[in-house]
């Protein structure tokens, strides 16, 4: 089966298995992922917001605009990377996703990653970081490449702050840009 078919199968299964039916019932649609399925980098955010729920695409609101700017700062466009979220339906009123919701989507996220098989996984914010790096604080490890062994395989993880957190915090914005600037060198360093 092609990568595209495998990804379609995963998104179909999320629907068939009625994952997070409560969220699904309040959302417009599933926001599965966007970008190149052959990408070397996968970005994982938290959950769709209003704009993402309306369009079916991840990171198309204000945080997405900043993500696009950061990508451009290292010579990349959205079509060069793959972008998704740990939770794939919009939580009501943009509340934080619950532990149960994150757990419910985790096997699908891991299959999605396995199919795309990127060199580097960039987690945006603590919600997508916590499965790979459960016992660390994002403030301690942001911008530092981590090797994480899961039952499936070994992953290269770069934990970054969430772009939404930086929207109204100039200091954090600069930290994110500085961390982002490390990505090209990190990619070269990974075989
Ligand atoms: N924030 C996220 O974490 N994901 C999105 O898709 C949009 C905003």
Query: Residue 168 — very low, low, confident or very high, per pLDDT cuts 50/70/90?
Result: confident
In eight-state DSSP terms, residue 130 is T
What is the pLDDT averaged over residues 67-74? 98
What percent of the chain has a predicted confidence (pLDDT) above 90?
A: 96
Query: Residue 36 — very low, low, confident or very high, per pLDDT cuts 50/70/90?
Result: very high
Give the Å distance between the CA of 22 and the centre of ligand 1. 19
Residue with CA nearest ligand 1 atom 7: 59
Q: Give the CA angle between residues 97, 102, 107 to the nearest 5°.
A: 155
Ligand 1 binding pocket includes 45 (Cβ within 6 Å)? yes
Q: What pLDDT does 151 receive?
A: 83
Examine residue 42 and state whether it is found in any structural domain, yes or no: yes
Ligand 1 binding pocket includes 131 (Cβ within 6 Å)? no
Average pLDDT, the chain: 96
CA dihedral of residues 18, 151, 141, 33 (deg, nearest 10): -40
3-state helix, strand, coil in the chain (%, to 5): 50, 15, 40
> In whole angstroms, how far apart are CA 4 and each of 23, 101, 116, 155, 188?
25, 25, 9, 22, 26
What is the pLDDT averaged over residues 171-177? 96
- Which CATH number characterizes residue 118's domain? 3.40.470.10
What is the pLDDT averaged over residues 93-118? 97
Residue 156 domain boundaries: 3-186
Examine residue 43 and state whether it is found in any structural domain, yes or no: yes
What is the pLDDT averaged over residues 64-78? 97
Examine residue 145 and state whether it is found in any structural domain, yes or no: yes
Give the Å distance between the CA of 77 and the centre of ligand 1. 17
Question: Quick check: 41 pLDDT over 80?
Answer: yes
pTM of the entire structure? Answer: 0.97
In the chain, how many domains are there? 1
Report helix, strand or coil for 190: coil
Examine residue 57 and state whether it is found in any structural domain, yes or no: yes
Q: Tell which one of 47, 60, 89, 127 to mutate to probe ligand 1, the residue whose CB is within 8 A of the most ligand atoms.
A: 47
Q: What pLDDT does 122 receive?
A: 98
Examine residue 132 and state whether it is found in any structural domain, yes or no: yes
Instruction: Work out which ligand 1 atom sits closest to the CA atom of 163.
Output: 1
Examine residue 174 and state whether it is found in any structural domain, yes or no: yes
Examine residue 143 and state whether it is found in any structural domain, yes or no: yes
Query: Residue 152 — very low, low, confident or very high, per pLDDT cuts 50/70/90?
Result: confident
Question: Quick check: 191 pLDDT over 80?
Answer: no
Examine residue 191 and state whether it is found in any structural domain, yes or no: no
Q: What pLDDT does 87 receive?
A: 98
Ligand 1 binding pocket includes 59 (Cβ within 6 Å)? yes
Instruction: Work out which ligand 1 atom sits closest to the CA atom of 162.
Output: 3
Instruction: Give the H/E segment covering residue 103.
Output: helix 99-116
Ligand 1 binding pocket includes 34 (Cβ within 6 Å)? no
Q: Tell which one of 44, 49, 65, 162 to mutate to probe ligand 1, the residue whose CB is within 8 A of the most ligand atoms.
A: 49
Question: Quick check: 121 pLDDT over 90?
Answer: yes
What is the pLDDT averaged over residues 123-144? 96
What percent of the chain has a predicted confidence (pLDDT) above 70?
A: 100
């Amino acid at each position: 089966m092609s990568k595209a078919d495998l990804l379609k199968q995963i998104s179909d299964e999320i629907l068939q298995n009625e994952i997070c039916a409560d969220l699904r019932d309040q959302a417009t649609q599933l926001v599965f992922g966007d970008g190149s399925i052959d990408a070397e980098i996968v970005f994982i955010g938290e959950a769709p917001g209003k704009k993402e729920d309306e369009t079916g695409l991840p990171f198309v609101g204000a945080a997405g605009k900043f993500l696009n700017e950061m990508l451009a700062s290292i010579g990349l466009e959205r079509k060069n990377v793959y972008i998704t979220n740990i939770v794939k339906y919009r939580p009501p009123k943009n509340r934080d996703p619950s532990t149960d919701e994150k757990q419910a989507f985790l096997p699908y996220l891991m299959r999605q990653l396995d199919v795309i098989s990127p060199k580097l996984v960039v987690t945006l914010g603590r919600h997508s970081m916590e499965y790979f790096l459960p016992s660390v604080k994002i403030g301690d490890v942001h911008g530092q490449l981590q090797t994480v062994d899961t039952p499936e395989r070994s992953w290269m993880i770069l934990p970054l702050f969430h772009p939404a957190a930086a929207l109204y915090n100039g200091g954090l914005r600069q930290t994110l840009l500085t961390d982002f600037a490390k990505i090209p060198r990190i990619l070269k360093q990974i075989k």
